[in-house]
Amino acid sequence: MMKIFISHSSKNSKFGQAIVDLLLSVGVSSNQIIFTSNDAFGIPNGKNIFNWLKERITEKPHVIYLLSPEYYSSIACLNEMGAAWIIENQHTIIFTPQFNSSSPEFQNGALDPREMGFKINNVDRITEFVESLKQYYSISTNPVLINQKIRKFIEDVNNIESQNIIKPITNRFRDVNISDKEKLESKLIKEPLKKSVELKTESNQVNKFFKDLQEDKLKDEEILLLHYVNDTARYKLGVGWKSTGEIENIKVWEDVNSLNSKLSTSYDDIMRRYDFKKLTEVSEFTSSGNPREVILIPDLRELLLDLPTDILSQIKKVADRNPKIISSPSRNFGWVEEEEEEEEDLPF
């Protein structure tokens, strides 16, 4: 039977545990739930964390995305989301109380923002969610019991929210706690660095692309696009009239990562290069039959989930040589170009 995988940030583990408790109380079996912040539902002893999680995702579970500002600040969570999205899991989108569904992270992320998510403390939508599970799981048919459990869940969620101290996210890519979930997230980031440079793909164009990357034959912009896709888990990219929106997304990403505007200013040209190299395929057309969205080919998408250390090092090297340049006033009231202070090295 299909398992339920709760994709979440460790910083939202109390909300995640409340979902687990609700699922158990309405009839979902404990062996059908995967929740890595609780040892009873997490990683078995002796198992490799990264491989174990990948195995669970490829089993095509029902994924509950518990989205929050903390979720979008974690590279590991975004990788998790990208892996689940690629294999087209059935999923439910639930927002923490403080999450703004109009945020650029959600509107421009891997999940389709047109799909209706809901706040975790919305009693009507939680009731609908529980009802929808009856198609796949042995949910109680006692409406009084269901109602009691949902009311208890909403009470727990509101208590958690009232106890929370909201802190600003100062770095999208830095988790400082060392809870079990954080160790998992850290492992997810670091594990690919142990791989050799050999690429496990039969795609000639993908092999040629990465061979050129290793031999410094690619334009910086081509590698920066790869960095953008891998960083944001956006495997579908706007072209044609939709390229304007994609470029705006890239500008936000460049700003967050203190990068110059090399990618955003040459985006259309780079997309034509990717098309010429047969690294993309059209995923959406306009009413007149023109491409408005493309997706990276399957072999490239799969490889991006687990890049070798040499490739990651090459991507980082390109990012390092493309820092944002800011203008600041000199002593003679002219303007000089200064580089922003470099951020701490990141594992990608």
Catalytic residue IDs: 80
**How many Cα atoms occupy the beta-carbon half-sphere of 108 within 13 Å?**
21
Cα–Cα distances (Å) from 218 to 212, 223, 262, 277, in that order, read 6, 7, 14, 12
Three-class secondary structure assignment of the chain: CCCEEEECCHHHHHHHHHHHHHHHHHCCCHHHEECCCCHHHCCCCCCCHHHHHHHHHHCCCEEEEEECHHHHCCHHHHHHHHHHHHCCCCEEEEECCCCCCCCHHHHCCCCCCCCCCEECCCHHHHHHHHHHHHHCCCCCCCHHHHHHHHHHHHHHHHHHHHHCCCCCCCCCCCCCCCCHHHHHHHHHHHHHHHCCCCCCCCCHHHHHHHHHHHCCCCCHHHHHHHHHHHHHCCCEEECHHHHHHHHHHHHHHHHHCCECCHHHHCHHHHHHHHHHCCCEEEEEECCCCCEEEEEECHHHHHHHCCCCHHHHHHHHHHHHCCECEEEEECCCCCEEEEECCCCCCCCC
Distance from C-alpha of 80 to C-alpha of 88, rounded to nearest angstrom: 13
CA distances from 125 to 119, 148, 149 (A): 8, 15, 14
Say if strands 280-285 and 335-339 run parallel, antiparallel, or are unpaired: unpaired
Cα–Cα distance for residue pair 19/280, rounded to 1 Å: 38
